[in-house]
């Protein structure tokens, strides 16, 4: 009798379980910055958002002001589009990756991936930062000296 009750209970638990999302260790986000194909300083010219439930779809137009590294051959003065989804607040008790902040007009450092003038964040919540962070991030081909 116990087996007849346990099997349906286990099945209900397994079927009702939702996929879990966890925070990402900042060490891995910094690694994503280092290996991002595009390391740029941008002047964000225009930002629009579309609300989808608690999330926002972000579309931005930006001009490249500095190029630290570019796999797609971006140059100073190029205009690009950046598009991504910024997660809104979740319910109490929810844990998961930090949301990518919504861009605002002005100068920002950016770690991106993409092509043909359309780019997306390459380092999740660490994709947009101060221009100084982009300038001091090593390029993919160079190794940082080890601290002793």
Residue pLDDT, tens place only, 19-29: 444 566 667 77
CB 98 within 8 A of CB 68: no
Q: Does the domain at residues 37-136 carry the CATH identifier 3.30.43?
A: no
Residue pLDDT, tens place only, 60-119: 999 999 999 999 999 999 999 999 999 887 677 666 677 899 999 999 999 999 999 999
Residue pLDDT, tens place only, 28-48: 778 889 999 999 999 999 999
CA distances from 115 to 37, 64, 66, 87, 88 (A): 10, 14, 17, 24, 27
């Amino acid at each position: 009798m116990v087996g007849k009750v346990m099997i349906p209970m286990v099945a209900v638990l397994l079927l009702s379980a939702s996929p879990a999302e966890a925070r990402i260790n900042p060490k891995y986000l910094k690694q994503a910055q280092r290996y991002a194909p595009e390391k740029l300083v941008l002047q964000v010219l225009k930002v629009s958002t579309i609300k989808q439930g608690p999330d926002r779809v972000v579309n931005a137009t930006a001009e490249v002001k500095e190029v630290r590294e570019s796999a797609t051959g971006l140059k100073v003065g190029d205009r690009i589009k950046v598009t991504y989804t910024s997660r809104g607040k979740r319910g109490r008790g929810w844990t998961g990756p930090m949301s990518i902040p919504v861009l605002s007009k002005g100068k920002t450092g950016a770690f991106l991936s993409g092509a043909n003038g359309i780019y997306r964040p390459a380092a999740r919540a660490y994709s947009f930062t101060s221009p100084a962070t982009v300038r001091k991030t090593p390029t993919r081909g160079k190794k940082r000296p080890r601290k002793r």
